[in-house]
Structure 1
Amino acid sequence: MANSPLESAKYRAIFFGVWLVIALLQTATLTWFGVLFELALGDAFISSALLAAACWLISSNLEYYRPQQARYFYIGLWCLLLAVFYASTLYYLLPMLLETDAAYEIFLLNSLPVRFSIGLLMIGWMAMISILWYNQQEQQASLKRKSDTEKLAREAELYKLRLQLQPHFLFNSLNSINALIGFQPQEARKMVQQLSEFLRSTLRKDDTQPVLLAEELQTLELYLEIEKMRFGHRLQTEILADETSRTMKLPPMLLQPLVENAIKFGLYDTTGQVTISLQTKALENTLEISIRNPYDPQTATKRQGTGFGLNGVQRRLYLLFARHDLLQTRAENHFFTSTLIIPQTL
C-alpha cells in the first residue's frame, strides 16, 4: 500500500501553507465584495478549514481504496457529494459561528453556487493529485520488487555457475594426489596444501564483488601450481601483466575456467611441452585479458566437460554487464585465443 503524501511533515507543512494562503486570498476577496473584515476573516478561515478537511478526507480514503480505471466515475461522485456537503455545511454553520446580519446571509445564499463550484474543483484537484501520487508510489514499489526479484535470480544463477566451477578441477586434483601418495608422499602433501589454499581463497570471494587483477592473478597462480604438479614439465605458463592492469578490477574467478579450458585443449592432444600465455592490456576504462594456448585442429578431439567453460564465462559476463560481446575467441596459426574485455564500471 502506498504511503499518503500527507504523512510526511514536509508535505503537511506545504498543505497547510497552501490553505493558509487560500484563506487570506478569500478574506481579501470577501472584503472587496463589501463584507466586513472580521466577518470576511472568519468566513474565509472556516470555509478553508472545512474544504481542507474534505480534501484530506478524500486523499486519505484513496490511500486505502482506489477503484479500477473503468470506474473512476465513482471518484467523481465522491467529489460531488463532498462538495454538496461542504456547501450545505457552510450555509448552516457560518451563521451559527459568526455574528452575521441579513445582508451577509443574503450574500452567503447567493454565493453558494460559487462556493460549491470552487469546492468541487478543489476536492477534484486533490483527488486527482492523490491518485497520481498513489499510482506512482505503487509503480515504484512494483519496479523495486521486480528489480529485487531479478537481482535475486541473477545472484542465484551466478552462485549456480560458481558451483559448476570447482568439481571437475577438484576431482582431477584428488586423483593426482591419490596417485602421488604411494611413491611421492612429499609431493602429495604439498599438493594438498596448495589445493587447500586455493579453495580457501575462492570460498572467500563474492561473485557480485569485483576484485583487483593482482588478487585474481595470485589465486590463478595457486591453481597453476597445482596443475603443474599434475602435468609436470609439460605445462609451462607465461603471465604478462603491467602494473596499471593489476590495479584494474574484474569479476572474481573469471580467469580460472578460461585457463582450465586452455590447458585441456592445449595438453590433452599433445605429448610435448605446452606454454599457456596470459597477457593483459590497460585500455581506456577497459581491461583486456588474452589467454592463448597451442591448438591443432587436426588432432584436437571434442571433449565433454562440466558444461561450464566458455559458455559459463559468457553467461556470467552477460549477467553482470548485460553484454554478449565481452568474451571473444579465435583460432588461427595453430593457436586458440580467448579475449576478455572487462569494462571498468564495477
Structure 2
Amino acid sequence: MKHPILSGSGYKLYTMIWFVVMTAHGSVLYFYYDFSMAIAVGDSLIYNLIFGVITPGLWFIVTFGSLNKDELSLIGTHTGAAFLTIVVWLSLSSYSLKLIFAAESAYLQFLTDSKIWRMIIGILFYSISVLIFYLIKYYQDMQKRLNRELELQNLLKDSELRMLKSQINPHFIFNSLNSVSALTISKPENAREMVIKLSDFLRYSLGKENSELNSLEQEINNATLYLDIEKVRFGDKLRFEKELAAECANVNVPNLILQPLFENAIKYGVYDSIEPITLRLTCERRDGMLQLQITNSFDPTSITKKGEGIGLENVRKRLALVYGRYDLLEVEQGEKDFAVTIKIPVDEAN
C-alpha cells in the first residue's frame, strides 16, 4: 500500500499544510505574545518541523494497526503511540529551543508554562493525522476492491465472449461436414471445392480468436466466404446481394458477428424453400450508429423449421457484452421476408 506522503506527489500538499500551520503558530507568538521575530519563527519552526517529521511514521501504525480486529487492542495501540509521539515531540522541541534561546529568560518561562496547551495541541495533531490516514487508507482499500471487481468483471466478460464465440464454429462445421459427406457421392468436385473454402474460412476464424473487434470489410469478406461454402450446397437456390455505404468499411465490429445471422437466414429461409432465396446485406451510418441489416426472403408456404433462436441470442449477448447495451439487435418479420438489424455505436467501435 502506497504511503500517501512519501510516495508520489503527496509531499507537496503535506509541506504546504505544515507551512500554513507554522505561519499561524509564529503569528500568534509574534502578534499576541509580543515575542521577537526570531523567537516566534524559531518556536514555530522547531515544534512543527519535528512533528512534521514524526507524522509520516504514524501511517505505519494506522496500516498495521488495522490488521488487528480487536477494538480494545486498537485503542490501546493508538493510546500508547500518541503518548510516545507527544513525549518525544515535546522533549526534542523543548530541549532544542532551550539551547537556542538560553539567554531569553522570559521565553524559557513561557516554554515551561505552555507545556499543557502544547500537549493538547500535540494530541490534536496526532488525532487529525491519524484520522486523515484512516480516510486515505479507506479510500485506497476501496480503490483496490473496485479494481479487483473490475478485473473479475473483465475476466467474466472475456470468458463469456469466448464461450459465445465457441458456439459458432462447431455448429457450422458439423453442418458443413455433413454436406461434404453427401456431396462426395453425388458431386465429388463440389465436395472438394467446399473443403477448400471451409479450410479458408476456419483459417480466418481461428486467426481472429483472440481479437474481439475487426473491420467490417474483413467481416464481410469472411461472411462472403461462408456464403460461398453454402452456395456449393444450395447452388442457384441461394443468392446474395449487398449495398454498403463507403464510410462503413473501416468501422470495427465484433468479429464473427455476421456469420450467425447469415446462418440463421439460410436455416429459416433457404432450407425448405423451392424457389431461389435472396440474402441482402445493407449498411449505413445513422444517428451515430452503424446500422447493418440482413434481409432474407422466404417461402411462406414452406414448413418453417422450429429452432431455439441460439444464433440470434448469441449475437444479442455479444453486442451487450461488448457495448454494454441491450437494444442493439432488432428482428422484424414480414409476409415474405425476415430482417435482422444490428447497431454498432460508431464512437465505441472506432
Interval of TM-score (by shorter of Structure 1 and Structure 2): 0.7 to 0.9
8 Å contact from structure 2 (residues 273, 302) kept in 1 = no
For CA contacts below 8 A with separation 6 or more, give which structure has more relative contact order.
1
Once residues 255 and 263 of structure 2 are traced to their aligned partners in structure 1, the CA distance between those partners, rounded to angstroms, is 15
Alignment counterpart, residue 144 of structure 2, candidates 134, 141, 144: 141
For the 8 Å contact 1:54–1:123, the answer to whether it is kept is no
Aligned with 2:328 (options 326, 329, 339) = 326
TM-score, normalized by length of structure 1? 0.87
CA–CA distance in structure 2, aligned partners of residues 22 and 192 of structure 1: 81
**Aligned-partner SS, 1:6:** coil
Deviation at 1:317, TM superposition (A): 1.3
Partner-residue secondary structure (3-state), 1:247 = coil
Distance 1:298 1:189 in 2: 31
* Identity across matched positions, percent: 30
For residues 9 and 252 of structure 1, do their structure 2 counterparts lie closer, same or farther at Cα, with a shift above 3 Å needed? Answer: closer
- Matched residue type, 1:130: F
Name the amino acid aligned to 1:335.
D
Give the counterpart of 2:305 among 301, 323, 331.
301
Q: Aligned runs of 1:251-266 on 2, under 5 Å?
A: 251-266=254-269
The answer for the alignment partner of 1:241 in structure 2 is 244
Question: How far has the Cα of 1:153 moved from its partner?
Answer: 0.6
> How many Å apart are 1:178 and its aligned residue?
2.8
CA contact (8 A) 1:164 1:308 kept: no
- Amino acid paired to 1:111: S
Aligned alpha-carbon RMSD (Å): 2.8
- Residue of structure 2 in register with 1:49 after alignment: 49
User: Residues 31 and 40 of structure 1 are in contact (CA less than 8 Å); yes or no, is this contact kept in structure 2?
Assistant: yes
Distance in 1, matches of 2:335 and 2:70, equals: 66
Q: 1:314 aligns with which of 309, 313, 316?
A: 316
Which residue among 265, 278, 283 is the counterpart of 1:280?
283
Task: Give the match's secondary structure for 1:7.
Answer: coil
Asked if structure 1 preserves the Cα contact closer than 8 Å seen for 2:193 and 2:232, the reply is: no
Residue type of the alignment partner of 1:302: K
CA distance in 2 between partners of 1:146 and 1:165 (Å): 29
Aligned length: 343
- Describe the shift of the 1:75–1:208 C-alpha distance in structure 2 as closer, same or farther (beyond 3 A): farther
Instruction: Give, in whole Å, the separation in 1 of the partners of 2:210 and 2:286.
Output: 24
- Check conservation: 2:18, 2:48, Cα contact below 8 A: yes
TM-score between the two structures when normalised by the length of structure 2: 0.86
Question: Offset at 1:9?
Answer: 4.9
Q: Which amino acid aligns with 2:342?
A: L
Change (3 A) 1:39 1:281: closer
1:290 equivalent in structure 2: 293
For residues 13 and 270 of structure 1, the distance between their equivalents in structure 2, rounded to whole angstroms, comes to 76
Query: Could you tell me how far 1:106 is from its partner in structure 2?
Result: 2.1
| 1:84 CA displacement | 5.5
CA spacing shift, 1:9–1:266, aligned 2, 3 Å: closer
Match of 1:59 in 2: 59
| Change in 2 beyond 3 A, CA 1:69/1:290 | farther
Aligned partners of 2:270 and 2:202: how far apart in 1?
24
SS at match of 1:147: helix
Bigger drift between 199-208 and 97-106 goes to 97-106
Query: In structure 1, what is the Cα distance between the partners aligned to 2:8 and 2:164?
Result: 48
CA shift, 1:253, in A, is 0.8
Aligned 8 A contact 1:79 1:120 in 2: no
Contact 2:102–2:108 (CA under 8 A) maintained in structure 1: no
Gapped runs of 5+ residues in structure 2?
A: none
Q: Does 1:123 align with 2:126?
A: yes
In the TM superposition, residue 149 of structure 1 has moved relative to its aligned partner by 0.5
1:95 equivalent in alignment to 2:98: yes
Q: What SS does structure 2 have at the residue aligned with 1:150?
A: helix
Cα offset for 1:141?
Answer: 1.1
Q: Give, in angstroms, the shift of residue 38 of structure 1.
A: 4.6
Deviations 1:77-115 (A, max 9, x none): 467534465346545664366525543332112212221
In 1, Cα distance between equivalents of 2:158 and 2:29 = 65
Residue 345 of structure 2: aligned partner = 343
Pick closer, same or farther for the CA change 1:98–1:221 going to 2, 3 Å. same
Structure 2: how far apart are the matches of 1:312 and 1:147? 23
Q: Indicate if the aligned counterparts of 1:294 and 1:336 stay in contact, CA closer than 8 A.
A: yes
Residue 18 of structure 2 corresponds to which residue in structure 1?
19
Say which SS state the counterpart of residue 157 (structure 2) adopts.
helix
